[in-house]
Amino acid sequence: MSDVTTDLPSYRSLPGWAAPLAVLAVAYGAVPFWGTSYLFEAILLPFLALSLAGLGLNILTGYAGQVSLGSAAFMAVGAFAAFNFNLRIDSLPLIASIVLAGFAAAAIGLVFGLPSLRLKGFYLAVSTLAAQFFVQWALTKFSWFSNDSASGVIDAPPLAIAGFVFEGPIGRYYFALTVVSVLTFIAYRLVNSQTGRNFIAVRDNETAARIIGVPVLTTKLLAFAISSFIIGVAGVLWAFAYLRTVEPAGFNLDRSFQILFIVIIGGLASIRGAFFGAALIVVFPLLLSRLGAFLFGDVFDSGVLDMTQRIVLGALIILFLVLEPDGLAALCDRTRKRIGTALRQS
């Protein structure tokens, strides 16, 4: 615990940007050439959208310490706002629709963040549930949002930027990857700035933060707005790049919890954590279904799978909360350190 910086082993002499750069190089340069369309459709696209949502929630919950159960609502606002901006404003570039959708989600996030000025912890979490139910209700109740489509389900527009259309699984993957990379870089800059310090100050000791001159109320609302912006854009990716349809049902309370679990499992207040957590949440059910089918054959149908998934996931979350509250990110750090020590000793 206390040897955080006492040793700076040689394996860490690589600069901090080396690892992210390597990941980006592989993601852009290698993955598209050997990946199957299953890999993109079933794993990478949902992974990217959920990572971004996890990143957004982590800014609010991990860094600023404000619990929220409304993430899926902000995703829905993003998706439907982007759809409507794109539909109703002629010749608005898609990228502008997406940015405006982010602002729409930020505005809604700001409104539902107002209770945070008075409420804390559990009570705040419950009040953010209001966002979840209200948004879902509004989107189903007013068919205008779905352009009066009978089923409430609508097709996403093509992903075009400056005349170039990102088509097919690989095209959509590139699109999502680029959006996620840009926002992740921005989030990284943010959490390492004075504003990022303010977030943590408010989280760790609100009174002390106020006394040293941190504008506590503004800081909380800013966290809600920025977090909702990012989650809103994640919603656009979920609907436009992954599902290719926009429907309220996909953005229910289950999804909000899923994003919260991503943050808890991946690691609170860690940028990498959101990606680790999302990877686990996306890959884990697929692995489980393969394993189940292999071990039990036909008995392991979708009903059993669903139940097993919930049980194992629940157990996993409890395990993480008890044994590794700092999530996969911390686990990964520790493992690297062990390997480094072992390497130096040999």
Q: Which of 16, 29, 213, 297 binds other proteins (CB under 8 A)?
A: 213
Which CB sits closer to other proteins, 194 or 345? 194
> In the chain, how many H helices and how many E strands?
15, 4
Task: Mention every residue, 6+ apart, whose C-beta is less than 8 A from residue 83.
Answer: 147, 154, 156, 157, 239, 246
Least distance (Å) from other proteins to the CB of residue 202? 9
Cβ–Cβ < 8 Å for 273, 285: no
Tokens standing for 326? 């700092």
Nearer to other proteins, 66 or 146 (CB): 66
Positions 259 through 288 that interact with other proteins (CB under 8 A): 269
In the complex with other proteins, which residue's Cβ is closer, 31 or 216? 216
Owner of token pair 């609100």? 206
- b/e map 202-215, b = 16+ CB within 10 Å: bbeebeebeeeebe
Asked whether 246 and 79 are in contact (CB, 8 A), the reply is yes
CB of 326 to other proteins, least distance (A): 10
Closest approach of other proteins to the CB of residue 222, in Å: 6
# chain residues binding other proteins, by CB under 8 A: 30
Contact 261, 309 (CB under 8 A): no
Out of 59, 104, 105, 201, the residue judged to bind other proteins by CB under 8 A: 201
In the complex with other proteins, the residue whose CB is nearer, 56 or 250, is: 56
| Binding map of other proteins across residues 140-169, x = CB under 8 A, - = no contact | ------------------------------
CA angle 63, 67, 70 (to 5 degrees): 115
Residues 223-252 that bind other proteins (CB under 8 A): 226
d(CA 196, CA 222): 11
CB-CB contact of 76 with 135 (8 Å):
yes
User: Which residues in the 169-198 window bind other proteins by CB under 8 A?
Assistant: 186, 189-190, 193-195, 197-198
Alpha-carbon dihedral angle through residues 288, 289, 292, 298, given to the nearest 10 degrees: 170
Give the one residue of 162, 212, 299, 322 binding other proteins; rule: CB under 8 A: 212
Binding mask 5-44 for other proteins (x = CB under 8 A): x---------------------------------------
Q: Residue 201 Cβ, how far from other proteins at the closest point, in Å?
A: 5
Q: Residue 14 carries which DSSP code?
A: S
> Out of 81, 222, 259, 271, which residue is the one contacting other proteins (CB under 8 A)?
222
Chain residues binding other proteins by CB under 8 A are 1-2, 4-5, 186, 189-190, 193-195, 197-198, 200-201, 203-205, 207-216, 222, 226, 269
